[in-house]
Structure formats: structure tokens, C-alpha cells
Copies of this chain bind each other. A is one copy, B any other.
Amino acid sequence: MNYIAHIYILPLPELLDPQGKAVVNGLHNLGITAVEDVRVGKYITVKLRAQSKAEAENLADVACKKLLVNAIMEKYSITIEEL
């Protein structure tokens, strides 16, 4: 069956996120002053074939660990959608 793995990657909370800080400043300059903090990460969708939802999740997890996520600087979560 076909699945889509939705992968959400963010910089670890204890690390600085200069891109997020730049977005905060940009939004403040645009008058959106209610914004207090921004973290900028990656959203990756992976379409894949697998026998089960569990296998799809496992494949996505391997893809994250081997290629997509830098565990020293980033955390991630995965949700699986069946097509």
C-alpha cells in the first residue's frame, strides 16, 4: 500500500535559531507585535510503499536517522497517512 509520511523537523529547543529570530524581527517590523518566538524547521512529505502503517513509519524513521535529520541540532516527529 501507499503511504505518505509527514516529517516535522525543528531545531532543538536549547539551541539558538537565528532564522527564527530574524522572522520575529521581521514580523515586528510589519506590525505583528503579538509574536514572541519563532522556530524555523523543515516539513518533509515522503510518499512510499509499505506492507503496513508500522512498516511505513519504520522506513520514515530510518530515512530521518540516515539522511534527513541532524540529531545533534534537530528533533523530529513523524505522522503516517494512508493513501
Task: Pick the residue among B36, B48, B67 that contacts A26 (CB under 8 A).
Answer: B67
The answer to the question of A73 belonging to the interface, with a C-beta cut-off of 8 Å to chain B, is no
Nearest B residue to A68, CB-CB: B23
Distance, CA A26 to CA B63, complexed state (A): 10
Task: Pick the residue among B46, B47, B67 that contacts A30 (CB under 8 A).
Answer: B67
Interface size on A, residues (CB 8 A): 33
Distance, CA A31 to CA B37, complexed state (A): 39
Q: Mark A7-34, 1 if CB is under 8 A from B, else 0.
A: 0111000000000100100110010101
Hey, which chain B residues are within 8 Å of A20, CB to CB?
44
Nearest B residue to A49, CB-CB: B34
